[in-house]
Amino acid sequence: MPRYEYRCRTCGDTFELSRPMAESAAPADCPAGHDDTVKLLSTVAVGGSSAAPAPAPRAGGGGGGGCCGGGSCG
């Protein structure tokens, strides 16, 4: 079950709740009993590595790509 992070606007505490995705937008009460809370945007941490690592930059400059493959555009 996903965990969502909230902040209480009354006391400033940040807390998390586990709830179904279908209830992600439902209001959440602060553990201290306040009801003026806001859901925070959270980043997702994904473990493991199924993708290839990004290539290292080449020595000697240019780097490139852009509109013309790294050549001199003018």
Tens of pLDDT, residue by residue over 49-58, are 556 666 666 6
- Tokens in use for 22? 């279908």
Instruction: For residue 7, report the phi and psi dihedrals to the nearest 5 degrees.
Output: -125, 135
Q: Is the pTM of this model over 0.85?
A: no
DSSP assignment string, 4-56: EEEEETTT--EEEEE--GGGTTS----TTS---EEEPP-PPP--S--SPPPPP
Higher pLDDT, 9 or 70: 9
What is the structure's pLDDT at 32?
A: 96
What would the pLDDT profile of 12-62 be if each residue is shown by its tens digit? 999 999 999 999 889 999 999 999 999 998 766 666 655 666 666 666 655
Q: What pLDDT sits at residue 24?
A: 85
pLDDT at 18: 94
